[in-house]
Structure 1
Amino acid sequence: MEDFKKEFPLTQHYTYLNTASCGLLSRSLVSWRQEHDKNLMEGGSIFRDTHKQHIREIRSGLSRFFSTSEETIALVPNFSTGMNALLDGLAEESKILLLEGDYPSINWPAEFRKFELCYARIDANLEQNIEEAIVEHNPDVFAFSMVQYISGIMMDPNFLNRIKAYHPNLLLIADGTQFLGTTNFSFSESPLDIIGASSYKWLLAGYGNGLFMIKPEVQHRFSLRTIGFNSADAGFGQKDEISFVGRMEPGHLDTLNFGSLGESVTFLEKLGMDKVEEHLKDLIHTAKSEFVKRDLLDEAVVNRETHSTIFNIKGDKELFERFKSEKVICSLRGKGIRVSFHIYNTREDLHKLLEIIDSY
């Protein structure tokens, strides 16, 4: 993987291990954003009149990047907004399986509605726990994060294929906020029925933009209540002919924010997601090996074959402050310190982290 210090200037001054909290904006994306707003400032509605074509281009780029059709992609300001819109359209008698301690934007929208809920435990035997819960409770929906935001435990994609094969009517809804942008993901080939994400982390697109991908064969299971003039493509006579994706996009879409997503996806596409995935796998493998040597990981993580780009290492606030003083940026999460790796991270970043730990 190439040297990104010029493209991501913060990495020239800090060891940035905090993409799980906030992905970095690239220099080229900021340049594009400045040009966009300059054009809006100078052109007003003349510039804005081109927005429909721009949105079509963004959607087309996303469909290519995620190997899906444009009709499956809904542009949303963030994951939470899209998740709430979907659950408002799901039958109230639905039974939903959740994971204990999963990200609040997955669990809270379900828990604050009248659904019947059941839970599976997150530990080294995550997939077995889920299977047992499915057999015991026979849920209609399983909603979960592809990657756990505190521990970094990642759902086994092969397991998802298996449960979809054995439970074809089980609706699989995933939060991909800590997942999309780390691997070469094909939605059309995935067992997932729905995946959504905010794009400010691994997709490196900043705040105020995200997406949901919803397979056509499950759209009939929702009666979406969201609607607005943009849903009907600004046509008064089209109120009763709104597509499913249109219902997810009731208001006018911001070409700055969604354009940022389009630009970032193009940037990752040019790098090659196979190369991105290979770089991250190598870094993750090395990091896990070093962390295990130092007894820094929870047993639930140590005993799993595959892992994500996020680790929660044993450490207290004093060690966290030591990291900060050495310009290593990470987060206090759960019972430890969360570090996370992306394309702009190198083995040198890992070595600096380990040096501080060893001297602590």
Structure 2
Amino acid sequence: MLNNRKSYPVLNHCIYANTAAYGLLNDELLEWRQNHDLDYLVGGSSMKIESLGLIGETRQIVGEFFKCKKDLIALVPNFSLGLNMLLEGLDSEEHILLLENDYPSVNWPVESRGFQISYAKINEHLEQNILEKVRNNSITVLALSLVQWINGIRVDLDFLKSLKEEFPQLLIIADGTQFCGAFEIDFENSGIDVLGASGYKWLLAGTGNGFFLFKDLAQRRFTIKTTGFNSANAVLTAKNTIPFNKHFEPGHLDSLNFGSLKCALEILNNIGMKEIAAHNENLSKKAGKGFDELGLLNNYVIQRNRHSTIFNIKDNNGLYNHLKEENVVCSRRGEGIRLSFHYYNTVEDIDAILEIIRKMR
């Protein structure tokens, strides 16, 4: 993984522990974007019309990367817009289970539409909390983030699969924005019915691109009303034969943004998601052990078997400002400091952060 650090100039002057806020720009992606816009500069509409094929190529690689049929993939500018379009097509009688204090763009769109809602607590017993709510409350939909944005708690994908096997009619909608690109997922063989994500965090694709993946059966639960000329691929006679996934693409999709997603996925593929996931698992264990030894983690994080690479540590004695002074890029979230590590980080980065904290004590 060390060789890949050369592609991220930011790492030359800081310890970047903020991928949960924004992923870094790869110099290969920068070059692609510059060439794209240069072609647009000199080619005008001809270039843009020719680039329409790039959207199909992006859909193809998204399907291959996450193991989903390409005609069940919707390309969207970001997760939040996609979820709002999706929920507009969901029956108002559904009883939806959310997680307490989940990402606002997951919970708020549900809460604003008048569904019956229950909540499960996020703690060391997260999966058991979800199971008990589903078993005892006539839940019909579960909507949650695969990784929690504040504390990094990561839901067990095997649990979601077993939950779906026990409750096959339960519709599971997942936000993978803090998961996809950091760890592997086989959507078709998962328990998830709908998986959405924005591309600007762990996928390192920049802003303005995202996707939603659907299972065949999931389509039957929604009546999507969003539509536009692009939904029909600019065919006037196709208004009444629009495929399910194209309802989420009513207007033109930007070739720069979605070409960036394609390029970013190619970069991750070239490195290898198995290698990236294994590296990130190692970073997770290293950081978790170090922060635990310093007494900086909440008990419910310590007691879980697996965690993401996002950690929220206690902000003692002005620690956040001190980390900034030491060129550690991180974020304030909740009552603590959120540090997040990706494949371009090293165990040495974590050791350096731990040493900074020790010296401050």
TM range (shorter): over 0.9
Q: Distance in 1 between matches of 2:348 and 2:95?
A: 47
| 1:154 match: secondary structure | coil
Structure 2 match to 1:121:
121
* 1:223-238 equivalence runs, <5 A: 223-238=223-238
Structure 1 match to 2:60:
60
| 1:206 match: secondary structure | coil
Structure 1 match to 2:172:
172
Structure 1 match to 2:78:
78
Q: Distance in 1 between matches of 2:158 and 2:87?
A: 26
Structure 2 match to 1:327:
327
Structure 1 match to 2:153:
153
Q: Distance in 2 between matches of 1:215 and 1:150?
A: 29
Could you report, residue by residue, the CA deviation over 1:333-358 in whole angstroms, capped at 9, with x for unpaired residues? Answer: 11111000001100111011001100
- Whether the 8 Å CA contact 1:173–1:193 is kept in 2: the answer is yes
| 2:97 match: secondary structure | strand
Q: Distance in 1 between matches of 2:130 and 2:5?
A: 42
| 2:304 match: secondary structure | coil
Instruction: Report how far residue 51 of structure 1 moved.
Output: 2.7
Instruction: Report how far residue 4 of structure 1 moved.
Output: 2.9
Instruction: Report how far residue 282 of structure 1 moved.
Output: 1.0
Instruction: Report how far residue 300 of structure 1 moved.
Output: 0.5
Going from structure 1 to structure 2, the CA distance change for 1:193 and 1:317 (only over 3 Å counts) comes to farther
Q: Distance in 2 between matches of 1:316 and 1:215?
A: 46
Q: Distance in 2 between matches of 1:187 and 1:304?
A: 24
Of 215-224 and 250-259, deviating more is: 215-224
Structure 1 match to 2:137:
137
Structure 1 match to 2:340:
340
Going from structure 1 to structure 2, the CA distance change for 1:316 and 1:227 (only over 3 Å counts) comes to farther
Q: Distance in 2 between matches of 1:207 and 1:191?
A: 28
Could you report, residue by residue, the CA deviation over 1:291-346 in whole angstroms, capped at 9, with x for unpaired residues? Answer: 11111110000000000110111124711010111100001111111000001100
Structure 2 match to 1:265:
265
Which segments of 5 or more consecutive residues in structure 2 lack a partner in the other structure? none
Q: How many residues align?
A: 360
| 2:345 match: secondary structure | coil
| 1:113 match: secondary structure | coil
Instruction: Report how far residue 6 of structure 1 moved.
Output: 2.2
Q: Distance in 1 between matches of 2:31 and 2:98?
A: 41
Instruction: Report how far residue 5 of structure 1 moved.
Output: 3.3
TM-score, length of structure 1 as denominator length:
0.98
Instruction: Report how far residue 114 of structure 1 moved.
Output: 1.5
The code of the aligned residue for 2:65 comes to F
The code of the aligned residue for 2:128 comes to Q
Structure 1 match to 2:112:
112
Structure 2 match to 1:99:
99
- Whether the 8 Å CA contact 2:52–2:255 is kept in 1: the answer is no
Could you report, residue by residue, the CA deviation over 1:55-108 in whole angstroms, capped at 9, with x for unpaired residues? Answer: 111111111111111012110000000000000000111111101100000000
| 1:124 match: secondary structure | coil
The code of the aligned residue for 1:75 comes to L
Structure 1 match to 2:30:
30
Instruction: Report how far residue 2 of structure 1 moved.
Output: 2.9
1:10 equivalent in alignment to 2:10: yes
Could you report, residue by residue, the CA deviation over 1:101-126 in whole angstroms, capped at 9, with x for unpaired residues? Answer: 00000000000001111111111111
Could you report, residue by residue, the CA deviation over 1:173-199 in whole angstroms, capped at 9, with x for unpaired residues? Answer: 000000000112111111100010011
- Whether the 8 Å CA contact 1:21–1:201 is kept in 2: the answer is yes
- Whether the 8 Å CA contact 1:95–1:141 is kept in 2: the answer is yes
- Whether the 8 Å CA contact 1:316–1:337 is kept in 2: the answer is no
Matched residues, percent identical? Answer: 48
Of 43-52 and 333-342, deviating more is: 43-52
Could you report, residue by residue, the CA deviation over 1:117-157 in whole angstroms, capped at 9, with x for unpaired residues? Answer: 11111111111111111122111100000000001000011
Instruction: Report how far residue 222 of structure 1 moved.
Output: 0.5
Q: Distance in 2 between matches of 1:82 and 1:190?
A: 20
The code of the aligned residue for 1:347 comes to V
- Whether the 8 Å CA contact 2:154–2:307 is kept in 1: the answer is yes
Structure 2 match to 1:352:
352
Structure 1 match to 2:20:
20
| 1:19 match: secondary structure | coil
